[in-house]
Amino acid sequence: MTEADRLQTALALLANDTVGANCPSRQILDQVTSRWGTLVLAALVAGPHRFSALRGRVAGISEKMLSQTLKQLVRAGLVDRDVQPTIPPQVTYSLTALGSDLAVPLCRLVSWLGQHTDELLAAQRAYDDAHA
């Protein structure tokens, strides 16, 4: 990121008071950038998933946590919950237009983390060694 990009981002954040404690976007930011929120959104980039398929795709998530995360993402307008009137009901989750728009930079973040994992872990080890 160039210095001009950093300045533009900082000005946008300050103009919208995004860093302020009372900014309404902070609650959604917490949901989207939580471990499970990010992984669920990233999994849905591949296309619609039923609950059980999504749980299998997001390794380590409990049913309760997946249910809570999906509820938050649906409420935020990022995920659509489509219920088919079958017995039992068939529920499919997919990204909304807003969710798809968010998925682009979010997937870039996830990709960046994957590319820099070794460097980040090395920095953590160096910090831990220096502060042991």
pLDDT in tens, 83-100: 999 998 899 999 999 999
Positions of E strands within the chain = 49-50, 79-84, 90-95
DSSP 3-state assignment of 48? coil
Residue with tokens 């807003």, as numbered in its chain: 98
DSSP 3-state assignment of 40? helix
pLDDT, one tens digit per residue, over 21-58 is: 777 777 777 777 888 999 999 999 999 999 999 999 99
Assess contact for 41 and 32: CB atoms under 8 A.
Answer: yes
Q: Could you give the CA distance from residue 56 to residue 63 in angstroms, rounded to a whole number?
A: 10
Q: Provide the phi-psi class of 50: left if phi over 0, else alpha when psi is between -120 and 50, else beta.
A: beta
